[in-house]
Structure 1
Amino acid sequence: MWVQRVIDATGWEPLGLSVDWATVEGELGVPLPADYKELCEAFGGGVFSDTVSFLGRSEGASFDFLTQWRASLSFDQSWLGDVSAFDPHAVYAPGGKGLLHWGSTEWADEYAWLVDAERPGAYPILARSHDPGPWVRYDMSTSEFLYRVLADADFRPFGIAQYELGTTFQPGLGGHVDGPPL
């Protein structure tokens, strides 16, 4: 229902991408939310309303979920030691508990799931605005959160509809992946 609302709001023609979710989820060690996978298959990765970056499946590293996760995990573990760039949370590592980022804004707002390998299937969304404020928890699906960010002028502080930017989607670097799926 919410995925279709995002599609309708943007006027996007779903790509129908084929993604090897078993491989993706095998690397992560947890299943991803079903509606997120639908969003990825419909949109790939890219930018909504010239403002909201969505990490999905994209031929360019900038919008590819796994590429960005690997980079964040490496940085969080290699450079920061016991401190995380996403304090008080760490980047999710297989078998553990932490954040899996799936979106952001040009204003440096961040959107992630708080994932716990011991509780697969629970995907609360944590969002943080550009100022160094606390993470805000949302118990809703990824697609509902994304829809509210894009189309609900009263969804504050993360909604962008109040700025009347339009609800569009621009695929990242070529729009989709030609070749073998992830």
Structure 2
Amino acid sequence: MWVQRLLEFTGWEPSAHSVDWAAVEEELRVPLPPDFKRLCEGFGGGTFCDSIAFYGRAEGVHFNFLLPWQMPLSPLPSESGPYQEYTPGGKGYIKWASSEWGTAYCWLVDAQQPGTCPVLARGEAGEWCEYDMSTSEFLHRVLADEDFQPFGIARHGLDPTFRPGPGADGS
């Protein structure tokens, strides 16, 4: 339902991206939220409203949410709160999107409690907020709900668009 709302909001035609979810989840040693998989399959990686980078790919170097495990990158600053970056088989956050304002959108996952993935968002000032909703509902609220604070961007009047990342067309 929420994935469909995002498709309608952006006017995006689903792209039918193929992802080997069994291999991805084996690498992470934790199942990913089903609606995130549908988002990835419909959108792939790219940018919403010219402001939100969605890491909806499992290959390549652009918009790839697996990149931190495939190539060590710097994690979110440790002084940003009580959460640690996820390590396969452990407990922590997995970042699936970010904004041009420095906001990070993640899940809080625990390999010992598979299937439980609340959305965890870190704002510009380093504050963390936890949301008990699906990835696609959270993303829709960020993009379209003017009252969704402190993470909503609808109040900025940005065009409701989605732009696929480089290589999304096979190039």
Q: Please give the TM-score of this superposition, normalised by the length of structure 2.
A: 0.92
| 1:59 CA displacement | 5.6
Which segment drifts farther, 106-115 or 61-70? Answer: 61-70
SS of structure 1 residue aligned to 2:136 = helix
- Is 1:45 the counterpart of 2:39? The answer is no
Q: Hey, what's the Cα distance between the residues in 2 that align with 1:170 and 1:60?
A: 17
**2:58 touches 2:66 (CA, 8 Å); kept in 1?**
no
1:149 and 2:142 are equivalent in the alignment: yes
The verdict on how the C-alpha distance between 1:92 and 1:176 changes in structure 2, with shifts beyond 3 A counting, is farther
Q: Which of 160, 168, 172 is matched with 2:161 structurally?
A: 168
- Specify the code of the residue in structure 2 equivalent to 1:172: G
Q: Matches of 2:165 and 2:136 in 1, distance apart?
A: 19
Give the match for residue 140 of structure 1: 133
Alpha-carbon distance in structure 1 between the residues aligned to 2:107 and 2:5: 21
Q: Does 1:131 align with 2:125?
A: yes
Measured in 1, the distance between the counterparts of 2:35 and 2:92 equals: 20
1:89 corresponds, among 79, 83, 98, to: 83
Cα separation, 1, equivalents of 2:115 and 2:28: 13
State the shift of 1:18 in Å: 1.2
* Aligned positions of 1:76-115 closer than 5 A: 76=75, 84=78, 86-115=80-109
Query: Do the aligned residues in 2 keep the contact of 1:56 with 1:102 (CA within 8 Å)?
Result: yes
- Report what 2:27 is aligned to: 27
| CA deviation after TM superposition for structure 1 residue 177, in Å | 4.9
Offset from partner CA, 1:92-113 (integer Å, 9 cap, x none): 1111100000011000011000
2:37 maps to a residue whose letter is K
CA-to-partner distance for each residue in 1:64-98, whole Å, 9 max, x for gaps? 111145445x645xxx9xx8365421111111100
Q: Does structure 1 conserve the Cα–Cα contact (< 8 Å) formed by 2:44 and 2:56?
A: yes
1:69/1:101 contact within 8 Å kept: no
The amino acid of 1:92's aligned partner reads Y
> 2:56 — aligned with what?
56
CA contact (8 A) 1:57 1:177 kept: no
Equivalent residues of 1:101, 1:112 under 8 A apart:
yes
C-alpha spacing 1:59/1:116, structure 2 compared with 1 (3 Å): closer
SS in 2 for 1:63: coil
Residue by residue over 1:37-68, the C-alpha shift from the partner in whole angstroms, topping out at 9 and shown as x without a partner, is: 00000111010000001001166413011114
Higher relative contact order (CA 8 A, sep 6+): 1
Distance 2:65 2:170 in 1: 13
* Percent of aligned pairs sharing the same letter: 56
SS in 1 for 2:66: helix
Is 1:119 aligned to 2:113, yes or no?
Answer: yes
- Alpha-carbon distance, 1:130 to partner: 1.1
1:57–1:176: structure 2 CA closer, same or farther, 3 Å change rule?
A: farther
Moved >6 Å (runs of 4+): none
Q: Normalising to structure 1: TM-score of the pair?
A: 0.87
Gap runs ≥5 in structure 2: none
